[in-house]
Structure 1
Amino acid sequence: MAGQAILRVDWKRLWVLGAVGVVLLMIQKGNAFQFKVGGSGGSWTVPADPNAAIYNQWAEKHRFFRLICMGAVFVYDEDHDAVLHVTKDDYTNCNTAAPLEKFSYGHTVFTFNQSGPYYFISGLAVNCHKNEKLVVVVMADRSQRNSNQPVSSPPPPPPQDSSPPKNAASSSIAGILGTIAAFVGSSLLSVI
């Protein structure tokens, strides 16, 4: 008995570490921003003035950054419309035939996972021709750059036929798993 270590769990330490893990998860999600397309009272529909590019005017008033997990919220009548994530050519020509992604649930949250332009049009070509379309340009966050590093040229834009991942679930899962691993690891250290 004298040579064996007794495994005891310090529940108070374990509880504190668990609380720290929860706080870390909340901090991770606290940096996410979502903008309702068209503003707080707006919705995704044909503009009252079909000659006005109201959605692009709205987007120009906002700054979208990739590293802050920004997203756009589209609210629309799911029985009469949809949101299509498309290429630049399909945006220009209001081509609804082959979208990169189609959303038709009436409430769509689109997360911007990479910098560059994102093109959205109505699911109905006739609505798109009446300016129910949107371009969002997502900028890379360069605020974290070390001032001692040389300035490099920006990376080339992604090919137009490529699409960003459908959602940020993979990064959220990685963050959650990392937090759990840190919690378990620190718990094991406190037990030993």
Structure 2
Amino acid sequence: MRGHKNTILLALVATLIAKEAFAAQHVVGGSQGWDQSTNFKSWTSGQTFKVGDKLVFKYSPLHSVVELGSESDYKNCDISTPLQSLSTGNDVVKLDKPGTRYFTCGTLGHCSQGMKVKITTMKGNAPSSRLSPSLSPLLSPLLSPSLSLPPPSSSSPTTSTLASSASQWFISFVFIATLSVSVTISLS
């Protein structure tokens, strides 16, 4: 009986780790990062944001990240009542629920010059980032039909995001395979 309780506990831990591994990290602005020269509307059009994903804001000391509470504040660049203000230059924001969040730079004039981004997070726990065409044939047979890979798009994420997603997927796969063998042995 004790072995079955341990197996159930291991399965729960594996599920939590796999869910975290499937979360994507989106470097806001891609290779340009959180900067005035970045076209954030174009960048977001090539992304899918899901619950559990993380936004990574990378920027110089000239900038900051201010989360705004409403679309009105976002449209009017009103930073007088922020939900949070970040200034490390490498900030990570977890997308923990579905909905829309609004971010801008707190430096005077940067918001009105376009340094702001609206992120709409969807429900779901499937991988958010697409894998490169070269990885798809290798991994597709291992995935269930419900997790099949979408076709590559012309606005795919950067190579570093693809590599990160692929390695996260591989780590999850190896961990779950190892857990399956462990469970099989414990039930024998």
Sort the TM-score into its range (normalised by shorter chain).
Answer: 0.5 to 0.7
1:63 counterpart residue number: 48
Matches of 1:46 and 1:83, distance apart in 2 = 12
Runs of 4+ residues over 3 Å off in structure 1: 16-26
Name 2:36's counterpart in structure 1. 46
Q: How many residues of Structure 1 are paired with residues of Structure 2 in the alignment? A: 122
Structure 2: distance between partners of 1:22 and 1:140: 22
- Ranges in structure 1 where 5+ consecutive residues have no aligned partner: 1-9, 49-53, 144-192
Q: 1:118 aligns with which of 101, 104, 110?
A: 101
Contact 2:26 2:55 in 1 (8 A): yes
* 1:1-150 superposed matches below 5 A: 23-39=14-30, 41-47=31-37, 54-66=39-51, 69-77=52-60, 79-86=61-68, 87-141=70-124
TM-score by length of 2: 0.56
Unaligned 5+ runs, structure 2: 127-188
Q: Deviations over 1:164-183 (max 9, x none)?
A: xxxxxxxxxxxxxxxxxxxx
SS of the aligned residue for 1:129 comes to coil
- Helix, strand or coil at the partner of 1:56: helix
Q: Residues of 1 paired with 2:17 and 2:97: CA distance?
A: 23
The Cα RMSD (Å) is: 2.7
Matched letter for residue 137 of structure 1? T
Name the structure 2 match of 1:168.
none
State the one-letter code of the partner of 1:119. Y
Q: Distance in 1 between matches of 2:97 and 2:111?
A: 25
1:88-118 Cα deviation digits (max 9, x unpaired)? 1111111122111111111111111111111
Structure 1-normalised TM-score?
0.55
For residues 99-138 of structure 1, give each alpha carbon's deviation from its aligned partner in whole angstroms, at most 9, with x where no partner exists: 1111111111111111111111101131111100001111
